[in-house]
Amino acid sequence: MRRFIFAERNGIHIIDLQKTLRQIELAQKLAREVILRGDNVLFVCTKRQLSAIVKEEAERAGALYVTERWLGGLLTNFQTVKKQIRKLKDLEAGSETGGDFENYTKKEQLLMGRLRDKLARNLTGIKNMGRLPGLMFVIDSKKERIAVSEGNKLGIPIIAIVDTNADPDLISVPIAGNDDAIRSVELIARAVADAIVETRREAPIRQEVEESETSTYSSDRGMEPAGGGGDDERRRKRRPRRRRAKPEAIAARLKTGGEGDAVAAAEEAVGEEGEPEA
């Protein structure tokens, strides 16, 4: 952070605001490029005194947000998170008037309502995230180190408000500022949100397409197929199923002939069943 510090007085570091302004302009430029590309932006802030501000700016810009708690593996294990999002949507649809909840008992409705509230508390801001975001905007890079680590693993560019006690080398566009002050966070968040809103007016409307569940992230091997192979490979590995003779055919042959005929009937029944599947 030395390059962003103007001076030090009485043990307090003073940030160079000219460099901060230059970084805000770079962040706005990066946000415009991401929106024009058709991707979305994810706002991340789990501080209680700042979460309401970040949530308001994210909703105004039509962006995604996480303000309650960062779920471990939210990005690197996104296929599992998508299942929870789908479950949340089903529970919300069932709790509406005329939904499926009316067919359950009161106790079951109470349990499903609690599960819906629990999922909504953590997943409401990313309920419409059909694929990984194209950009992350993090308020405190040191507090949200897990989110920053997951974004770097997946190659997602990150804009973050970096205080003097954080490492700016982990961030794509670090913005030097006080990440605890309400006014500074509100000012920077509004600047990024304004850039997103202006770009959405110019950008063409694109339909949100969900990512297929054919890939998953591994910390050792990176991105790899989810099933470890296609249908053809699974079909080749399937063991052949043995065909047994029909008891009716054997019993009918025993009535007319001896044991030798029974063996012939068994062989004939196996032949009628056809060859074993590969």
Write out pLDDT tens, residues 211-248: 554 455 555 566 665 554 455 555 555 666 666 666 77
Q: Is 230 contained in some domain? A: no
Look up the pTM and report it: 0.70
**Same domain, residue pair 192 and 153:** yes
**Same domain, residue pair 173 and 252:** no
Distance, in Å, from the CA atom of 218 to the CA atom of 198, rounded to the nearest integer, reads 37
Residues 6+ apart with CB under 8 A from 222: none
Q: Residue 245 has what pLDDT?
A: 64
- Residue of 156, 163, 122 whose CA lies nearest to 141: 163
Q: Tens digit of pLDDT for each residue in 25-74?
A: 999 999 999 999 889 999 999 999 999 999 999 999 999 999 998 998 89
Domain boundary pick from 177, 193, 222: 222
**Same domain, residue pair 113 and 13:** yes
Total number of domains constituting the chain: 2
Q: Is 127 contained in some domain? A: yes
**Same domain, residue pair 101 and 131:** yes
**Same domain, residue pair 173 and 257:** no
End-to-end CA distance of the chain: 64
**Same domain, residue pair 140 and 259:** no
Expressed as residue numbers, the domain containing 273 is 240-278
Q: For position 136, which CATH number holds?
A: 3.40.50.10490
**Same domain, residue pair 186 and 275:** no
Q: Is 228 contained in some domain? A: no
**Same domain, residue pair 132 and 64:** yes
**Same domain, residue pair 186 and 254:** no
Q: Is 36 contained in some domain? A: yes
Q: Is 235 contained in some domain? A: no
Q: Is 233 contained in some domain? A: no
- Portion of the chain with pLDDT greater than 70, in percent: 74
Q: Where are the beta strands (DSSP E) in 105-240?
A: 135-138, 158-162, 173-176, 215-218, 222-225
Q: Residue 220 has what pLDDT?
A: 58
Q: What tokens were used for 275? A: 């060859």
Q: Is 276 contained in some domain? A: yes
**Same domain, residue pair 9 and 37:** yes
Q: Residue 276 has what pLDDT?
A: 47
**Same domain, residue pair 208 and 257:** no
**Same domain, residue pair 142 and 256:** no
Q: Is 266 contained in some domain? A: yes
What is the rounded (10 degree) CA torsion for 93, 54, 151, 223? 10
Q: Residue 12 has what pLDDT?
A: 80
Higher pLDDT, 268 or 76: 76
